[in-house]
Amino acid sequence: MKVVVSDPLSSEGIALLQAAGHQVVTPAAEELPQALADAAALIVRSATRVTAKLLEAAPHLRVIGRAGAGVDNIDVAAATRRGILVMNTPGGNTVAACELTMAMMLALARRLPQLSAQVKAGAWPKKGFLGMELQGKRLGIIGLGRIGSEVARRALAFGMGVVAYDPYVPKDHARRLEVKLVPLDELLATSDVITLHAPHGPDTARLIDAAAIAKMKPCVLLINCARGGIIDEAALADALRSGKVAGAALDVFEHEPPTGSPLLAFEQVIATPHVGATTREAQATVATQIAEQIVAFLRGEPPRNAVNAPAVDAELLQVIGPYIDLGERLGMLLVQLADGPIERLTVTYRGEMNDHDVRPITTAILKGVLQRALTTPVNYVNAPVIAAERGLKVDVVRSSAIEDFANLITLDGVTRQGRLSVAGTLFSRHTPRIVRIDDYRVDAAPAGHLLVTRNHDQPGVIAHVSAVLAERGVNIADMTCGRDRPGGTSTLVISIDSPVSPQVVRQIEASPLILRARLVSL
């Protein structure tokens, strides 16, 4: 498949893509729309702007990979509507960004840029540039994610007290770090150094404005190695003039490059050109990581580090990956057995799945249900969106009820004609099996072509079905049968080596012993 790399990418990543058999092209900016016309994947860093208009030129694009964490340069909503997965590498540059933050902190505290400039100018200013020790000072971290957490660990090693504001982080995570979670106003009012590690969005745009700065301690140090636009730069300039902020270290700006910014005129401002991830190690890591993720996704594996689909990291994937596959197959089974469009779907999870995020499994189930009914492409990205647009009501139930199986996924579908239920599990944690259709216990592999019948529990059923298949030269690979009671009704699931035509299905249904027959392809 064709993979377009529109920004510089470490050679390790390129080599991985090529080793997997993909064609890698690196077009100039003006050639990008043409290069995307037949591309399956696009890899960008921070320079390329992936707009809705650009995506219109990429009708076959399946995935956009961001070699880095931020996706500000990608129209994620437009990609989602088109069913294009967006993935990033959130942990690849963690150490690099963290170490830059610590370098900024030390440089501000000891006024290193000013001292260096003085010495280079011929001065020897041993007096007049009094520094500040970090030990015993309070560091306020806004955003206690991967990078913020690593900064906290290093600051604690320096003997600093650390507080953090993050409305989304679990308290247990902060407790393990020995970091105190506090309200934003308390952080602003009590911190000697404040560092930002939050994403840019509606909740954080100009979070540090004139009102926020007014709440800070006098002579505070401010660091931003996260995203431009979180700080009101005009308000920061005013605070630097007044001395309220003693120094600021900025790796990011609202407009980059920050041509004409008043902040560049202050000697107490350290400015770097958005190089938080620019280390040899980080570049190689994010390139390798995004290449591996792209290769795995194009190979058909569930997505990792997805931005617009339920995220599945490598550790979680080992646990729920087989359930994702099982869920999709159960969805395909349900929709092919149904007598009409499914209007309501209830998914019930039992067992170890309830210890994890089940959204990736639910998304796979929706993909299985929808892709058999629609001509438009359905994937892990747009399946929830399409389900909502079609009015499919989805309920998810986590049950602790004990069943015959340690782990069980049950799908209950409602159509205008009635109800239908299927259930599946994993044998030995990896082998998927269909174990129930409605109230009938069965044991069948959810793969290949299955002939599923509802019939009277009487002699002659298997003989009739076998005779019809034999007449057409169709071999039976496996068979399972479940019944409600002796002499009642039963369900027969027959695995066959090749599909049969609707005429053959009708011929099977022609027997008075057969109540219904369906061909299912998984």
Catalytic hit among 274, 433, 483, 518: 274
Amino acid identity, position 101: T
Q: What is the pLDDT of residues 70-96, one digit of tens each?
A: 888 999 989 988 889 999 998 888 999
Q: Report residue 385 as tokens.
A: 């969106």
Q: Report residue 195 as tokens.
A: 């560092």
Q: What percent of the chain is predicted at pLDDT more than 70?
A: 99
Q: Rounded CA gap, 291 and 16, in Å?
A: 6
Q: What is the pLDDT of residues 424-454, one digit of tens each?
A: 999 987 899 999 999 999 999 999 999 999 9
Write the burial class of residue 483 (CB in 10 Å: 0-12 exposed, 13-18 middle, 19+ buried).
middle
Cβ 25 vs Cβ 5: under 8 Å: yes
| Confidence class for position 300, pLDDT limits 50, 70, 90 | confident
Q: Is 429 a catalytic residue?
A: no
Q: Rounded CA gap, 361 and 380, in Å?
A: 10
Q: What is the pLDDT of residues 125-150, one digit of tens each?
A: 988 889 999 999 999 999 999 999 99
pLDDT reported for residue 521: 94
Find, among 80, 24, 34, 70, the residue nearest to 49 by Cα. 70
Find, among 488, 409, 495, 481, the residue nearest to 446 by Cα. 495
**Distance, C-alpha 515 to centroid of its chain:** 44
Which residues are bridge partners to 519 per DSSP? Answer: 451
Q: What count of other Cβ atoms lies within 10 Å of the Cβ of residue 502? A: 8
Mean pLDDT of 173-187: 96
Q: What percent of the chain is predicted at pLDDT more than 90?
A: 80
Secondary structure letter of residue 318 according to DSSP: H
Q: Is 66 a catalytic residue?
A: no
Q: What is the average pLDDT score of the chain?
A: 93
CA angle, 35 as apex, 30 and 40 as ends, to 5°?
A: 140
Mean pLDDT of 304-324: 81
Mean pLDDT of 188-212: 94
Query: What size, in residues, is the chain?
Result: 522
461, pLDDT greater than 70: yes
Mode of pairing for the β-strands spanning 41-44 and 63-66: parallel
Q: What is the pLDDT of residues 215-224, one digit of tens each?
A: 999 999 999 9
pLDDT reported for residue 375: 64
CA angle, 296 as apex, 392 and 7 as ends, to 5°?
A: 100
The reported pTM is: 0.65
E strands present in 351-488 = 393-399, 408-415, 418-427, 431-437, 440-444, 449-456, 476-483
Q: Report residue 122 as tokens.
A: 């011929």
pLDDT reported for residue 313: 67
Mean pLDDT of 191-208: 93
| Confidence class for position 113, pLDDT limits 50, 70, 90 | very high
Q: Rounded CA gap, 27 and 35, in Å?
A: 7
Q: Is 403 a catalytic residue?
A: no
Residue with tokens 């496996």: 478
Q: What is the pLDDT of residues 23-72, one digit of tens each?
A: 999 999 999 999 999 999 999 998 999 999 999 999 999 999 999 888 88
Catalytic hit among 56, 133, 256, 471: 256
CA distances from 319 to 5, 73, 112, 322, 433 (A): 32, 33, 49, 7, 17
Catalytic hit among 82, 200, 227, 436: 227
193, pLDDT greater than 80: yes
pLDDT reported for residue 311: 64
Q: What is the pLDDT of residues 317-356, one digit of tens each?
A: 788 889 999 999 999 999 999 988 899 999 999 988 888 8
Task: Give the H or E element holding residue 24.
Answer: strand 23-25
Q: Rounded CA gap, 409 and 326, in Å?
A: 8
21, pLDDT greater than 70: yes
Q: What count of other Cβ atoms lies within 10 Å of the Cβ of residue 45? A: 21
Residue with tokens 């998304």: 363
Amino acid identity, position 13: G
Kindly list the structural domains of the chain, giving each domain's residue range(s) and its CATH number in brackets, ordered by start: 2-92+281-298 (3.40.50.720), 94-271 (3.40.50.720), 311-438 (3.30.1330.90), 446-522 (3.30.70.260)
Q: What is the pLDDT of residues 368-407, one digit of tens each?
A: 999 877 766 788 888 888 888 888 999 999 988 777 888 9
